[in-house]
């Protein structure tokens, strides 16, 4: 049951549609390297499509009816888009879900220090990373600093063409014989992933008793205060992420792929949001859910294990006149979901880690993983056969290229998504998404055909599930 390469069937018009979609996606990927920025842009996309803030609807005491479109945000890191259909809400929803947090380095709360006449920022890695990926590469600082007076300062240094960039140094090859004898996981200690941010001291009189003890660090702090009106203490209430500097780019001489940071999982989030806003009239209410914290277990107030989704659905059902607790439970149980996350693209260089009949191939379309997990499917949601059959029918009817896959060979490793969390409501859920190469590296690779088929598949699911 080998699936064909999706590129073989495209008409010139479809190629044009594909390239237009991917231009928008490259811009989204380049400009939104944190979950906060993804949600901010998602809200802008929704409002331009006629979606209204749910808080406004509640404040005005308005009732909701079929055809209304609302959105809700949670702590600036989660986003839920809802298009109310003509069918009773109790009959369930068609849900697209994805996450927008990506593996990265986070600044510690007390990050700044000086050593060897250079200024550094100390970090703590977030999610599954290989420490050696992060050395000797151009990096950017992106995030927010929240001050005691209630103001929030946006930080984005390193992505513009004329911005300075930052880096983490690597040990030179001439002195690294001991380092290179270590296992890869130990070659670069995570505690020394310190970002170099300066190398110039402030001027001072050597005899001045008040001269700074760390003049290079002081120069960095002085520039920060001058340009952003923040001081060192403000790092205590900051969320600044260290991410690869630079935009997403076309890859390959044929421009068939995209190289960029954060494909996992923005390559699913962007087409999901686009499909949601481009399907205007629906029978079953459609929901697109964009969440945070998947890379560290979906925990916390902005993770999928929070009550944001359930509480927002309850608010909407109340405003639509279906406000009983039982109606809410029935709606959730009757819902259908594509839990979208990236799949491991088959890599011929590491072919032994894949089982070829059940691997995700680049360019063969939207991926469906009946189960994820590790070892004996541990920690996974295992979609039932009836639901898989329904999804197959939807995709075939819409002419969407898709493939089924697993995350590598049995016992080679494993992983999970938010699917099992949503399945606790009793709804049908299956993992789906786009195959990528170099997952969790600074620069990941996705095929444009897969992105296009993902968008088409998400759109078909909203319309037909």
DSSP secondary structure letter of residue 283: S
> In the prediction, which pLDDT does 157 show?
97
> In the prediction, which pLDDT does 358 show?
93
What sign results for the dihedral spanned by CA atoms 382, 385, 390, 392? positive
**N- to C-terminal Cα distance for the chain?**
24
Nearest to 323 by CA among 89, 123, 153: 89
Q: Give pLDDT < 50 ranges for the chain.
A: none
> Kind and range of the H or E element at 312?
helix 308-319
Residues facing 343 on adjacent strands = 435
Q: CA angle, 14 as apex, 10 and 15 as ends, to 5°? A: 80
* Dist. CA 315–CA 317, nearest whole Å: 6
Residue with tokens 């037909």: 464
* Dist. CA 369–CA 415, nearest whole Å: 11
**Going by C-beta distance under 8 Å and a sequence separation of 6 or more, which residues neighbour residue 312?**
54, 72, 80, 82
* Dist. CA 88–CA 108, nearest whole Å: 48
Query: 406 φ, ψ to 5°?
Result: -125, 165
CA atoms within 13 A on the CB side of 173: 0
Cβ-contact 172, 162 below 8 angstroms: no
Tokens matching residue 193: 């992933």
Nearest to 272 by CA among 79, 69, 459, 1: 459
> In the prediction, which pLDDT does 155 show?
97
pTM, 2 dp: 0.95
* Dist. CA 290–CA 298, nearest whole Å: 12
Query: 42 φ, ψ to 5°?
Result: -60, -40
Residues facing 52 on adjacent strands = 70
* Dist. CA 240–CA 50, nearest whole Å: 32
> In the prediction, which pLDDT does 211 show?
79
Q: Report the chain's C-alpha Rg in angstroms.
A: 24
Q: Are strands 257-260 and 444-447 parallel, antiparallel or unpaired?
A: antiparallel
**Going by C-beta distance under 8 Å and a sequence separation of 6 or more, which residues neighbour residue 298?**
99, 291, 304, 305, 418, 421
Burial class (CB in 10 A: 0-12, 13-18, 19+), 356: exposed
> In the prediction, which pLDDT does 412 show?
77
Residues facing 445 on adjacent strands = 259, 437
> In the prediction, which pLDDT does 71 show?
98
State the greatest distance between any 2 C-alpha atoms of the chain, in Å, as a whole number: 81
> In the prediction, which pLDDT does 163 show?
96
Q: What is the pLDDT of residues 395-451, one digit of tens each?
A: 999 999 999 999 888 877 777 889 999 999 999 999 999 999 999 999 999 999 999
Nearest to 143 by CA among 42, 241, 33, 262: 241
Nearest to 74 by CA among 244, 311, 352: 311
Cα separation values, 166 from 143, 224, 271, 368, Å: 15, 14, 31, 38
* Dist. CA 141–CA 105, nearest whole Å: 10
């Amino acid at each position: 049951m080998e699936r064909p390469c999706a590129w073989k069937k495209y008409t010139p018009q479809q190629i044009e549609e594909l390239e237009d979609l991917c231009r928008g996606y490259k811009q989204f990927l380049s400009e939104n390297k944190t979950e906060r920025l993804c949600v901010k842009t998602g809200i802008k996309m929704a409002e331009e499509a006629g979606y209204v803030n749910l808080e406004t609807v509640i404040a005005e005491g308005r009732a909701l009816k079929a055809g209304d479109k609302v959105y809700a945000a949670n702590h600036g890191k989660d986003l839920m888009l809802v298009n109310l259909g003509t069918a009773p809400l109790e009959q369930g929803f068609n849900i697209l879900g994805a996450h927008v947090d990506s593996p990265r380095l986070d600044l510690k709360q007390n990050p700044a220090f000086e050593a060897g006449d250079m200024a550094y920022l100390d970090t703590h890695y977030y999610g599954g990373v290989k420490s050696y990926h992060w050395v000797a590469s151009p990096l950017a600082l992106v995030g927010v600093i929240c001050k005691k007076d209630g103001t929030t300062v946006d930080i984005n240094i390193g992505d513009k063409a004329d911005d300075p960039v930052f880096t983490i140094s690597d040990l030179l090859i001439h002195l690294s014989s001991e380092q290179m004898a270590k296992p890869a996981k130990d070659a670069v200690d995570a505690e020394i992933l310190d970002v170099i941010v300066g190398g110039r001291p402030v001027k001072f009189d050597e005899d001045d008793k008040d001269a700074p003890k760390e003049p290079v660090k002081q120069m960095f702090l002085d520039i920060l205060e001058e340009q952003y009106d923040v001081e060192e203490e403000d790092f205590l209430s900051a969320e600044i992420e260290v991410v690869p500097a630079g935009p997403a780019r076309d890859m390959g001489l044929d421009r068939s792929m995209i190289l960029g940071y954060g494909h996992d999982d923005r390559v699913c989030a962007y087409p999901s949001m686009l499909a949601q806003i481009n399907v205007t009239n629906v029978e079953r209410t459609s929901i697109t859910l964009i969440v945070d914290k998947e890379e560290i277990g979906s925990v916390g107030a902005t993770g999928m294990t929070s009550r944001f989704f359930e509480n927002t659905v309850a608010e909407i059902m109340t405003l639509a006149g279906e406000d009983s607790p039982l109606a809410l439970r029935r709606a959730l149980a009757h819902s259908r979901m594509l839990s979208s996350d990236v799949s491991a693209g088959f890599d011929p260089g590491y072919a032994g880690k894949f089982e070829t009949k059940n691997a995700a191939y680049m360019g063969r379309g939207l991926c469906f993983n009946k189960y994820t997990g590790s070892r004996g499917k541990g920690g996974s949601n295992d979609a039932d056969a009836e639901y898989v059959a329904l999804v197959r029918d939807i995709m075939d009817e819409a002419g969407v290229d898709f493939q089924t896959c697993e995350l590598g060979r049995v016992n080679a490793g494993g992983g999970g998504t938010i699917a099992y969390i949503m399945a606790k409501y009793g709804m049908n859920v299956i993992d789906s998404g786009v195959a990528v190469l170099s997952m969790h590296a600074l620069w990941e690779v996705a095929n444009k055909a897969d992105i296009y088929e993902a968008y088409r598949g998400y759109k078909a699911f909203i319309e037909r599930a």
